[in-house]
Amino acid sequence: MALPLDGLLVVSIEQAVAAPFCTCKLADAGARVIKVERPEGDFARAYDKTAKGGSAYFVWLNRGKESVCLDLREAADRDLVLTILEHADVLVENLRPGALERLGIDPEAVMARNPKLVSCSISGFAADGPNRDRKAYDLLIQAESGLASITGAPEAPGRVGVSICDVATGLSAYAAILEALAGRAVSGRGGRVEVAMFDTIADWMSVPLIHLELGGRATPRVGLGHPTIVPYSVYETRDGRALLIGLQNDREWRQLATHLIGQPDLADDPRFATNLARTEHRAETDGLVADAVAQRDRVDAIAACEAAGIAWADFNGVEHLSGHTDLRRVTVATPDGEVALPAPPTRFDGATRTGAAVPALGAHTDAVRREFAG
């Protein structure tokens, strides 16, 4: 069955995480992705050697692509890219703002020669902003955007444990490219897409910002709790298991008070009757739930939550994810062997889309040169 992006040609001058995440999704959807790598390769190749000799990040994000190893400072290699772009549908790049132009590949000039091209530039900070020239990696943006200040335990901030700024920006770029392609289907013309990591996370930080600017209160760090919904935290059972129990409304609090805590009158107690009141009495509320959970084994605590219609989750480590009954996997070929990865989250008519293989550095250079030689 044909994939939705079959026949589309994507050229990506990319490295690390954000742009490769975006183009990995394009490849999964059927696009042909030509990944232009510097002579030493995408530096993410050298992060580690965990995945059968390859980098975990690189194997995760580069399946289904063609690797073309070029030195864009050399005229012949630059001209080859310009020739490919005359036939391309999408250009994705995440070099520092202005770097591609300095190499002689100006997206605006390329789009003038190929009006159907969708050009997507991914940067750390907006290209027209005061910080455009700063280097920007995932943790730097977590710090700069304020995300790290609301992450962690009360005594210390923390890093979100995955590259969330890169991934969020890659997803934003992917969605924007699809929007531009949909627009092209109507107008016949491509367009320019720009996505900055800082802008992406600033958008995601809207709720803490509203709480500060309009509510006059900073979002607290509450570890494995929720800053504005109580109870919504991790509690330990009698047999030493950790359960995360979370509410969404006051009706659920009434159910929890009845079925888990065993004190139905708490539903009407003014200290606990509303979420705002429970938030103001966070320690007392959490203490009531913690005491109730501590009197039950895991199975009994879960049964009480189920009876009350309350959401719960086991607090798992990565080792539990590895064997989780809901974990779907796909097997991806790499130059050094097959690697099992979590499957892409979206299924279409019951099927999972995933690119075929992770390319060795420069594996497709000669073939692409011959194809676009003139």
Sign of CA dihedral 40, 49, 171, 25: positive
Contact 337, 52 (CB under 8 A): yes
Those residues with Cβ within 8 angstroms of residue 102's Cβ, 6 or more apart along the chain or in another chain? none
Q: How far is CA 188 from the centre of its chain?
A: 31
**Residue 170 CB-half CA count within 13 A:** 21
Q: Please check whether residue 295 is in contact with residue 241, taking contact to mean a CB–CB distance below 8 angstroms.
A: no
Active-site annotation holds for 89: no
CB 361 within 8 A of CB 41: yes
- Which distant-in-sequence residues (6+ apart) come within 8 Å of 142 by Cβ? 148, 151, 159, 160, 164, 165, 201
Per-residue buried b or exposed e for 127-153, using 16+ beta carbons within 10 Å of the residue's own CB = eeeeebeeebebebbbebbbbbbbbee
Q: Is 328 helix (H, G, I), strand (E, B) or coil?
A: coil
Report the 3 state secondary structure along 15-29.
CCCHHHHHHHHHHHC
Is 332 in a helix, a strand, or coil? strand
Find tokens 């009006």 and name the residue.
115
Q: Which of 138, 166, 199, 286 is catalytic?
A: 166
Give the Cβ contact number of residue 114 at 10 Å. Answer: 17
Residues that are catalytic: 166
